[in-house]
Chains A and B, each alone.
Chain A
């Protein structure tokens, strides 16, 4: 916290509740446009239900394609919230304050989106209940707990519930502010939601304890979710390039890489949309940029390991997959784009302080990372399947259909739409956290200089 912007409590309230209390025209236009995109995807999904999965580009060796890629991608994005909130909260990083809420909301929304995709990719989506909920209904048969597809919903629901609790606990003081500032039925709803918050010392203590407890408890969930998603692939012994023990840490760190980049993107868009220049400052982007350099480099290390392990085993299917990725059009083009966007362009750029503090450059690089990470999931899932077995007779290829492209594009619209809707009802930057940060601010005199510092009770 080097830069200090002095704001009164009143001004913080006014600025941060701008989304809830004002009704700018761009918000309605954006929501309308996004809603049309989501509705289009609904139509595409209906068509797919009506016609069968034949309308996708899936075929015999490539049974999983765009939908599962997108599922893994959004689960990856959802890792950002917890990464930012709990780790930074537990390590008492001061610069986290304006970043946390948006990251957590992104987590929840991304998880909800991710969950839709494995469900809509099944042949008979109306029967999902049989494995998503561990309940036997009328068939006298429980879900097969040996299947990673049963672990998936368990992990994701656990994560979704804990992340929602996490957001809610942090929202309570802000809901009380909203209750006090609103009138009519809104006041009643906010009143119920704020659970009788009056800001007594006991309530503050309980809220702080709950926040810290949840941060600590959610961390194992956060690691487990993407590990379990990776086991969908790691447990598949028939696809030799998936069948690797490195999948879990590789996926988790990749998820953090794409997730934190997505948080940067969202923060910059919010700063621009709600004019929060005083709150989301270059120093926050600087902090996230440094974090991303570490995360991205670790991820790249795992990527190299995964690639080398595949070659080291000298299995025919593995070698043919690497051949495909390096020498064969268009896979090598995608592979090149993936490497450039996920690592070689952004990470060296983030090494420079000037880039980390430039809003526009951070926006561009963070978007690049997510293009790369989407391609990474695609390049793990699809080429692995096309070069699945040793029988060259059944090697295949894959080309997504328009239906799949629409549904994947609409998932991005859906996430944006949900965040915009959230911003209409709840503040996306925690008010109380800002004020808490202000209370803790102090100046320490070191030699002849006044250095900004933080005073905290232990």
Chain B
């Protein structure tokens, strides 16, 4: 595998197919193939139905976020993070806010932290819904996807209620939220907690013991914990191999240490285990949201951001009437606030694994360097090597259960 790759030079075809007697055929999966669920390409060489070797080509939607981030103030980088893993944008937003707050050493009120936990866990459920729903579609079962998609739609309605946007949410601000959750938002979250469990139960009863589904997924693309760690895996696919590494437990952020939840792990690391782990995580997320709703009730109402006027934009009507607010508004927008010269690495448990933000700051208006540690990018590099010897249809399922999101792959 690796010696084959080293022969490839730039601007040459990946595989030469000039020999008419050659038994192998070259197949392009992507860049816009329905099975890839995103814009990236795999050129595989096949012997009949079996993949002999493959090369992944990525970067089709590279948007230079790290370069753009070096020219933007902190609060303008949040919309860039939306577009990493766009299936669970709020986790990226919160991860970025927390990175900046860590750099600036801002204390966040407990109520805001619980609100963030709710938003992040809803996003995690939405992301796992996509992954497991599509996995069902890729095995040929469409109905499970439809049942779950309705619930994802409902989660997006909650986001819409909270921040006005659905997919690329740009939710929250540095220091908290831009506004409090309204009554409808809380009511919808509670409604979701009631309506989602029966749907998820139904979905599980459709798939978990389904003979066809198990035969298609169990034992496919099994990965040992050693292999997974050698390839720096994280997230549900690492936990499916049996390693109980979850950033929420290892390095708790946002008060996750106060919540009771389990870290589901698998044993074989195959597609079926990844499916089960993701389903179990949805149940755990529901538990966390329930607890967060109870905890919020014990906190003083109306608190939705930290008191950091140097970094949190004042309400617009105050800017016109209040001197202090005008000063801070000006200072924030013009980037006149002193910030520490420091480096931080902050990781959150994204839906696909450890989402890290490495921020090097020189005290200026924008980051000196910002690097996103993107789980999809790191997880996906094992795909081509592990596909060798696999059936094409199994490799498609493997790709589906890795849940590679092109936006996060390419940044």
Are A and B genuine complex partners?
Answer: no
Residues in B lying within 8 Å of A, measured CB to CB = none
